[in-house]
Structure 1
Amino acid sequence: MKNLKITLSLLILICISSCDDFLSEKPDNRTEIDTPAKISELLVEAYPQMSYFEIAETMSDNVFDSGMPETLANNEQNYNWLIQTETTNIDTQAYYWDACYKAIAHANKALQAIEELGNPTSLNPQKGEALIARAYSHFMLVSLWSKRYNPDTAASDLGIPYVTKPETELLTKYKRNTVAEVFDFIEKDIEEGLKYVTNDYKEPRFHFNVNASKAFASRFYLVKGDWDRVIELSDDLGARPEGKLRDFSTYESIGVEDQQLKYGSSNVETNLLIVSANSIVSRVYSLNRFNLSGIGRPEIFGGTTNLFGKAYYYNFYSSNGSITLFLPKFYEYFKYSNVTAGIGDPYVAEVLLSNDEFFLNRIEAHVMKGQIDLVNEELEYFLATRTPTYDSTTDKLTEARVVAKFPVVPDEYTPFYTMTPVQTSYVKAIAETRRRDFIHEGLRWFDIKRFNIVVKHETSNKPVNILVKDDNRRALQIPLHASNTGVELNPR
């Protein structure tokens, strides 16, 4: 535990560098970035250092009305798919928007500096990291603030501004690219960046190392529907990635705090990219009314939801008598700016990319290629690592078992591409597996968007709020301060 705490403390210190105030300076007053060391230092800031987890999670079907008398305003607004009125606190939509564009600006400045130094091959690792980081932040922005990717409408759907040059003015006005344009830019940056990324870091899991870059690319190509590319990127995992997935059995004998520390540790093999987020996500389970609740837990985590009909490894806890529940994933480190006054900022080590997601992406791509025998082997292996009483002789995954457990419901899963009934059952099985494995982390929301799943949110003494298919509220509304500078609003 002590070593894990030291690791987290180092992560916080690494992420709070002298470049932190870079974007608050007028462009002409900024420090000259003219050495490899300065470029590397700048790239520490090329990652969004705010959290989207609570935003995306609360919009999904993983949350319920717990009945608590009070909640944070932004929690209720997320639950009802509304723009947030709170814009000055962490864990808000506006803050995450700003965090992404701040990260993009640092990546762009690094790329400009590399170009001004003559693009030497010695700086290829920094160039690759900057390109992948720029692609990642734009991908997160378009995933949250635009309609889902659909090649039939992407050329006219509003995307987000894709910024490729450092600002030359303190306040720059940007026009929104289309979703198609944004995806083309992202793909270009990904493919160029993959040529250069490296594992040559003192702490590789705090950077876009090779596997983290491939895992992000697989998420992008899964959304785009390029199954061959997803499989190609994940070939190193194979059908049985032994030792590379999260070993939940090792969490059984340790306390809650140690579980939180371990989940986001750089020593855990599955964790590919970790960021230190300025966030109170570790507190929201006792602060937010709309969360995973004791009432809602059986719907998602009841024993029969497992494909083997058995209980999961996931152990939940509560700080309020099971009104709301949490899986120990986030350990908060509070950095004091004034110890006497008790003033400072909370930080949490968040796992942005993992082998667990990477492997599930691979399995889904195999479904879409019709390779069901291989899918059975891979998905059984994954689920076995989540099932404490798994028996390899009796818990065999078969097409009949998957179809029976996840029958096709007409008009439930409607991606932009067609699926056979068998593919639909398997895709639903994988999506439901992903839903449970990444509880609290927001990934469920992105599956809801790409599969166009209907979500119903119930609130006591109010009509049921239904997010229907293609509902405009599936795209977050542009933050007020951005629309005030000319960024076009989403339709409502």
Structure 2
Amino acid sequence: MKSLYRATLAALSLFVLGSCEKYVDIKTQGQLVPGTMENYRYLLNSTTNWESAPAISDMASDDLEILDGSAQQQSLANNDYYGYYKRAYQWDDVIYPIENQYYKDDNWTRMYHSIAYANTVIAEVPNASDGTAQEKAALIAEAKIHRASAYLMLVNTYAKPYNQGSASTDLGVPLVLEPTTEQSLERGTVQRAYETILADIEAALPALPTTQEYATLPSKASAYGLLARTYLYMNRYTEAATAADQALAINSQLIDLTSIAELTATSYPQRFFNPEILLSKVPVNGISAYTPTAFRLSADLEALFNDSDQRYNLFTVPGDIISSWDVYEGRYYYLDYIMDEGRNVGPTVPEMLLIKAEAEARNNQPAAAMTLVNQLRASRILPSGQVNLTASSANDALLKVVQERRREFMFRMLRWWDMRRLKDDPLFQKTYTRTVGGQTFTLAPNSNRYVFRIPQYEINLSPEIEQNP
């Protein structure tokens, strides 16, 4: 990773000095002065530097089901480029084998790229030749939110789920907090990673604007949303609910899906302007339109929907729309293809409502939990369906909240994270099985395969990085 980080820093130097192609595209060369605030503003506006999120989480989750023997399965079996897709789906020990032609893990690489960009802004903006202290603090705050988001995604991909009893000894991820290649890349602990994430968010909050024009730019609403998500995955439900409330106090907008007859690029807002998105993040490797990589809904996910749920009606399609081949039966996720843009996996208004609902259920307040769930469902379920749900107990409410999370966040990264954090809870504990090419793969609650192994390529570059078991 030292080599990767060094290359990223070199590219950043070119950007800040005004000689990289993207920089020239934004303004005619020579119109900007190196080291000025405008350089860093342009860097923060370059969405491709900041939006990256893991894609392999969706491939490992139980949202997805590939029928064994289908054209989709056979196409993946014979496609080396998409080998990572099949291996993640099978929960293989190694997703990016070093002997493979495609041995680099874009999930890891792109998030550390974002961290490198963030570190440059945080370190260099204080020495910018212009700008007020307040303006500088605002840019640094944006970079810290992006860095916190990247580390939250990294630790929930390449480290064990947070457990208060073992977080101080469980291996985390390398914490690169300075724009230098001379620091140690030894893995800290999960506890240290979460402490770093929380510290960045708390430090950023005072200087952030309340809202931003585009969902790609961090704001106070983004920060509170990210804080709520972080506390949820630390099992600190009361604090998660408090942060969710703070986010909702700024933005509680929901898109009324029941008023949309057909999903088109004009009937549904583009990601940058989507009022529900608190901070836009997009899985790497583009849109899931090519049939081998299309996301086919698993049988148990599809069973959670009915024809009154607009998330099902608008965001999924029959297989014959994915492919003219009859073998593409079932239902496929299609939102990102229709919108011609990556699907958001960053914090949203619906996520805040469901975080609050989960906290209420865990606090033995099932009615309050269902009120929040139903607030969301009112904008999702047609009047012909059952809009309002009820719960007979706190456990029943918790089950219904988690089911609603599955419906709302299908193929949005969070299902895999939820499987990880809930795997030891008797209410949700389950052993998963998949059959690929006639071979059965199993994911038990105590399996190490809930943690993706760090790509061997990165360990070869930086041998001090300890591999996951």
TM-score range, shorter chain: 0.7 to 0.9
**CA RMSD across the alignment:** 3.4
Whole-Å separation in 2 of the counterparts to 1:266 and 1:88: 39
Report deviation, 1:206. Answer: 1.4
Matched, 1:52 2:23: no
Amino acid in structure 2 at the alignment position of 1:44: N
Report deviation, 1:199. Answer: 4.4
Residues 142, 204 of structure 2: 8 Å contact kept: yes
| Aligned equivalent of 1:384 | 378
After TM superposition, the structure 1 = structure 2 runs for residues 190-269 of structure 1, keeping only pairs within 5 Å, are 190-199=201-210, 201=212, 203-235=213-245, 244-255=253-264, 258=266, 262=268, 264-269=270-275
Q: 2:110 aligns with which of 99, 119, 141?
A: 99
Whole-Å separation in 2 of the counterparts to 1:278 and 1:134: 17
Report deviation, 1:30. Answer: 7.2
Instruction: Give the SS at the match of 1:466.
Output: strand
| Aligned equivalent of 1:488 | 465
After TM superposition, the structure 1 = structure 2 runs for residues 387-466 of structure 1, keeping only pairs within 5 Å, are 387-389=381-383, 396-400=388-392, 422-452=393-423, 453-460=429-436, 462-466=438-442
Instruction: Give the SS at the match of 1:274.
Output: coil
Whole-Å separation in 2 of the counterparts to 1:380 and 1:27: 47
Residues 60, 445 of structure 1: 8 Å contact kept: yes
What TM-score comes out, normalization by structure 2 length? 0.79
Instruction: Give the SS at the match of 1:224.
Output: coil
Report deviation, 1:196. Answer: 1.5
Report deviation, 1:282. Answer: 2.8
Report deviation, 1:223. Answer: 1.1
Whole-Å separation in 1 of the counterparts to 2:465 and 2:165: 22
Residues 258, 381 of structure 2: 8 Å contact kept: no
Residues 138, 208 of structure 2: 8 Å contact kept: yes
Report deviation, 1:368. Answer: 2.2
| Aligned equivalent of 1:135 | 148
What TM-score comes out, normalization by structure 1 length? 0.76
Residues 240, 355 of structure 2: 8 Å contact kept: yes
Residues 87, 94 of structure 1: 8 Å contact kept: no
After TM superposition, the structure 1 = structure 2 runs for residues 222-371 of structure 1, keeping only pairs within 5 Å, are 222-235=232-245, 244-255=253-264, 258=266, 262=268, 264-275=270-281, 279-284=285-290, 286-288=291-293, 291-293=295-297, 296-297=298-299, 299-302=300-303, 305=304, 311-313=308-310, 314-315=312-313, 316-317=316-317, 318=319, 319-320=322-323, 321=326, 322-323=328-329, 325-331=331-337, 348=342, 350-371=344-365
Amino acid in structure 1 at the alignment position of 2:114: A
Instruction: Give the SS at the match of 2:432.
Output: strand
Counterparts in 2 of 1:476 and 1:375: CA distance versus 1, 3 Å: same
What do residues 416-464 of structure 1 show as CA deviations (whole Å, max 9, x unaligned)? xxxxxx4333222211111121212221000000011434232155343
Report deviation, 1:29. Answer: 7.0
Whole-Å separation in 2 of the counterparts to 1:86 and 1:247: 45
In structure 1, stretches of 5+ residues that fail to align are: 1-20, 335-346, 401-421
Counterparts in 2 of 1:45 and 1:98: CA distance versus 1, 3 Å: farther
Whole-Å separation in 2 of the counterparts to 1:187 and 1:74: 31
Amino acid in structure 2 at the alignment position of 1:465: F
Report deviation, 1:197. Answer: 1.3
What do residues 282-313 of structure 1 show as CA deviations (whole Å, max 9, x unaligned)? 324x1138x425xx44x3233xx36xx87422
What do residues 294-351 of structure 1 show as CA deviations (whole Å, max 9, x unaligned)? xx44x3233xx36xx87422122131344353233214899xxxxxxxxxxxx63635
Matched, 1:80 2:93: no
Amino acid in structure 1 at the alignment position of 2:236: D
Residues 23, 102 of structure 1: 8 Å contact kept: yes
Instruction: Give the SS at the match of 2:401.
Output: helix
What do residues 349-395 of structure 1 show as CA deviations (whole Å, max 9, x unaligned)? 6352211112111111222233333212111222232221357xx86
Residues 308, 382 of structure 2: 8 Å contact kept: yes
Whole-Å separation in 1 of the counterparts to 2:233 and 2:272: 27
Whole-Å separation in 2 of the counterparts to 1:469 and 1:228: 26
> How many pairs does the alignment contain?
420
Counterparts in 2 of 1:283 and 1:366: CA distance versus 1, 3 Å: same
| Aligned equivalent of 1:373 | 367
| Aligned equivalent of 1:8 | none
Whole-Å separation in 2 of the counterparts to 1:29 and 1:57: 35
Amino acid in structure 2 at the alignment position of 1:183: Y
Residues 478, 487 of structure 1: 8 Å contact kept: no
| Aligned equivalent of 1:167 | 180
Whole-Å separation in 2 of the counterparts to 1:44 and 1:264: 17
Residues 312, 386 of structure 1: 8 Å contact kept: yes
Report deviation, 1:92. Answer: 8.8
Whole-Å separation in 2 of the counterparts to 1:470 and 1:139: 22
Identity %: 20
Residues 185, 465 of structure 2: 8 Å contact kept: no
Report deviation, 1:231. Answer: 2.3
Instruction: Give the SS at the match of 2:336.
Output: coil
Amino acid in structure 1 at the alignment position of 2:435: T
Instruction: Give the SS at the match of 1:352.
Output: coil
Report deviation, 1:478. Answer: 0.5
| Aligned equivalent of 2:200 | 189
Report deviation, 1:210. Answer: 1.9
Whole-Å separation in 1 of the counterparts to 2:396 and 2:207: 38
Whole-Å separation in 2 of the counterparts to 1:327 and 1:247: 19
In structure 2, stretches of 5+ residues that fail to align are: 1-5, 18-33, 77-81, 424-428
Whole-Å separation in 2 of the counterparts to 1:236 and 1:158: 31
What do residues 147-186 of structure 1 show as CA deviations (whole Å, max 9, x unaligned)? 00001001110000111100245xx651101101111111
Whole-Å separation in 1 of the counterparts to 2:105 and 2:417: 19
Counterparts in 2 of 1:387 and 1:166: CA distance versus 1, 3 Å: same
Whole-Å separation in 2 of the counterparts to 1:150 and 1:278: 28
Matched, 1:111 2:122: yes
